[in-house]
Structure 1
Amino acid sequence: MFKDLSPNLKSSITRSITQTFEQYMSSIEWSEDKYSIDDFIASWREYITTKALWYSKIPDDMKVNPIFHEDLAQRINEVIARVLGEPPSEGQIAAIQIMQEQLNTHLEYNCKAEAVYVETLLKNHLGL
């Protein structure tokens, strides 16, 4: 059913998953111990029902269809895997390394989105 949506609608859904996942992970400081798929889904559900303009464009009968929910769960898993699998850029690595040397820290990051979080954290500590 997800595949039957317009390309713009699928793109909007994907963006909302990506943004909400990255915001959720930042809120838990990218801690695997604090991660809960249920908490993330609750955050995403709140976002789509209160802020997402695309949500009202999905027919109500589709919203309650179990097949649509399965398709959506699969898309969520794909997006999360893509976010977690995208490596940090060379620029991010270099900038983080310089700041960590200045602050004598050793924060770890495994993907581009987590590197954005770490870079922001370090900049805040340096007052940049």
Structure 2
Amino acid sequence: MFKSLSPNLKSSITRSITQTFEQYMAEIGWDPDRYDMNDFMKRWSEYITKKALWYEKIPDDVKLSAEFHEDVATRINEVIRKVLSEPPSEEQIASIQQMQEKLETQYFYECKAEAAYVESELKKRVDA
């Protein structure tokens, strides 16, 4: 069922998963011990029903379909896997390294999204 949606709608769903996942991970400080799939899914569900403009474009019979929910769950797993596997950019690495030397810190990060979080946190400390 997911595959039958328009490319724009599929893209919007994917972006909402990515954004919600990255926001959720930032809220928990990218701490894998604090990650809770049920909590993430609750937040994503709240986002799509309250803020996502695309949600209303999906017919109710599709929203209620078990097949659609299975397809979306698969897509969520794919998106999370992709976010976690995208390496940090060279610019991010250099920026983080420079700030860590200045602040004498040692933050670790494994993917581009986590590096963006670390970089943002370090910038706050540098600017303080």
Q: TM-score, normalised by structure 1?
A: 0.99
What is the letter of the counterpart of residue 82 of structure 1?
A: K
Post-superposition, which runs of at least 4 consecutive aligned residues in structure 1 deviate over 4 A? none
Quote the residue 1:100 is aligned against: 100
Query: For 1:30, what is the secondary structure of its paired residue?
Result: coil
Quote the residue 2:62 is aligned against: 62
Tell me how far 1:124 sits from its aligned partner. 0.1
The 2-side partners of 1:110 and 1:46 are apart by 28
Tell me how far 1:47 sits from its aligned partner. 0.3
The 1-side partners of 2:73 and 2:29 are apart by 24
Structure 2, unaligned runs of 5 or more: none
What is the letter of the counterpart of residue 79 of structure 1?
A: V
Q: TM-score, normalised by structure 2?
A: 0.99
State percent identity of aligned pairs.
66
Aligned residues: 128
Tell me how far 1:39 sits from its aligned partner. 0.4
Structure 1, unaligned runs of 5 or more: none
Quote the residue 1:2 is aligned against: 2
Quote the residue 1:52 is aligned against: 52
The 2-side partners of 1:64 and 1:26 are apart by 31
- Cα root mean square deviation, aligned: 0.7
